[in-house]
Amino acid sequence: MNKRTYFDSHRGAGWPDEKWLERYFLTPAGRRDFFSSGNDNWGLKAEGVDGTDDLPHLKGRVDVNLTIQGHPDLGVLLQHRKTGRLPIKTYYSRGDLSRLHEWVKTVHDDLMPVGLFIPFETAWKAIKEFMERDAALPDCIAWVAEADLPADSFPPPWSNRTEVARPGN
């Protein structure tokens, strides 16, 4: 299995050391650093899971992406996406689903549903388990399948819907 990382200064082959990564989720200074680069979206990728590392991309190789979308006030939205064989399986961290139709803008102006954000500390547990279990869907948090979400959970980028008010605004 080929592991890749796109997280702050760790970009490329392999997954980062857990101690290096955990500070972004468990300490105030790390959380400040999480957003200091002007980015709020990171990821871990595993290519060739489930014994498919000898197969080519789009020809049987199974890949898993864990996308990490952060927000300073709301925490983290995780997306676990397994591709390479049908059906493609996509799961999102399950936050307060009563807030699915409240959105917050990312740095890149995408609108994300507030109801899929979980606390930083909870997200860290899932990220750590993802790395320890070779990209398996972590059991330590609740997930919601993409197929179980309302069709309008993620509005299109050209939508005129507005960002949710931040606490204190």
pLDDT of 167 > 60? The answer is no
Examine residue 139 and state whether it is found in any structural domain, yes or no. Answer: yes
Domain of 82? 2-148
> Other CB atoms closer than 10 Å to residue 109's CB: what's the count?
8
Query: CB of 137 within 8 A of CB of 92?
Result: no
Side-chain half-sphere exposure of 52, counting CA atoms within 13 A = 20
| DSSP SS3 for 124 | helix
| DSSP SS3 for 131 | helix
In the chain, the number of structural domains is: 1
pLDDT, tens digit, 9 for 90 and up, residues 79-137 = 999 999 888 999 999 999 999 999 999 988 889 999 999 999 999 999 999 999 999 99
Examine residue 161 and state whether it is found in any structural domain, yes or no. Answer: no
